[in-house]
A and B are shown apart, each in its own frame.
Chain A
Amino acid sequence: MSRSLRHRPSAVLLLLALPVLLVACGEAVDGPTAPTTSAPDASAGGGADADGPLVVYSGRSEDLVGPILEGFAAMTGRELEVRYGDTAELAAAILAEGDASPADVFFGQDAGALGALEAAGRFAELDAETLGLVDPAYRSSAGRWVGVTGRARVLVHAPDLAAADLPDSVGELTDPVWRGRVGWAPTNASFQAFVTALRLLEGEDAARAWVEGMLANDVQVYEKNTAIVEAVGRGEIDLGLTNHYYLLRYLAEDPDYPAVNRFLPGDVGGLVNVAGVGVLSTSERPTGAAELVAHLLSEEVQRSFAGAAAGEYPMRAGVEASDRLPTLVELAPPALDLGRLEDLEGTLALLREVGALD
């Protein structure tokens, strides 16, 4: 650095900030550029639909579903407006908006939020043909939302653990062998769905005993699944309870990422939960909305969800998951009506009472 600059530290800071300023000022202020995609020949389907773009509230991020939604817009010529956000916050916003909600379609990360909107009477019934594409285990029993992709609960673990030492069931994690070595994310929706399943399948007492056993075994608390995968990667913990696909993302960025997924076939800890869609009962564009739902379950889109980057389980019967994953049949997830996972009150009460949320 030159002498004059060394004596003018503020000039150095200015230089650091300059590129940012230039970019910011150089591009004229031309307002928001919404990712609205439209094609001139808007011909497909919906004669009865109101004018204006189809509005999607998506709890799934743009990185994951943006290209798929754009593909729908390009194919049908429909204009699409997508609001990306947190699944729970978007669901809360739809509840707060009431009947005036601009949303036509809600695309949520987990069955809990979908169930809550269904319970509040905010979803219209989907057509039987679309519903028929998906195993009844992965859609609302009242036909008001349908799963699009599935994610399995797994144990993510350090690569140096011998397979023989690894547990086959989450029930083993209360063993003193695992003291202080396991991480969970009790405020995470997928984890809570798993605890709900535990309560429904094994009973309240068993569920409580397991949660208390984990706490007594000094389980490490993390904010979310990604934090668990990172803690395992750093060697901070040996095992973590997460969804299967988070590690796949890390491996996509760094093939040598030091962590391995262990699937839990047949165990309640290997629950398969869904991300899914519902059409708002207040939607003025039901035809377009139904088309979008059908598009998300089309073979082509389902195959792309199964592709390497996303690594999720396609929900359309007949579309195979990535061959690096065990099939849903091999996983033999516990039989459970996912619609019942919306009943989180009991799970929250349990977690609160034993102090798992503090």
Chain B
Amino acid sequence: MGHYSLNVNGAQHSVDAPGEESLLFVLRNHLNLTGAKYGCGEGQCGACTVLINGRATRSCLIPVSSAANVKIETIESLERDGQLNSVQQAFIDEGALQCGYCTSGMIVSATSLLRHTPHPTDEQILTAMNGNVCRCGTYPRIVAAIRRAEQSGKEA
């Protein structure tokens, strides 16, 4: 059991957890941030995606012991003062979900993409998103939502 100080969504949090516990389960079970989901535990589905130092990262693959000196942002941080970010709003406008279990990871991955590449090519969208799985099959709608967010002129 170790003691860790994590920077999550702009605040410092103290956590007692085994060092091998993944960041995903620390977020979910210790900090009650359940927006990031378990889908495979192997970095193959993207349901657990969070931003680490601004980059989309699979939180299921990061042991908490190596998450101490980084800036972590989760889906819960994207809404600011009651305002959704452009990707969240675009997912609503395009109806880009069914069960929604993949949605947090999709939105975080797309947010990371648009923050670094405000006007991505089709190929760049594919590269950024191909590691995120939607079993309900809403991929065309998600691509449309990313395009809508891109063109909204608002912040991702």
Is this pair of chains taken from one and the same complex? no
**Residues of B bordering A, CB below 8 Å:** none
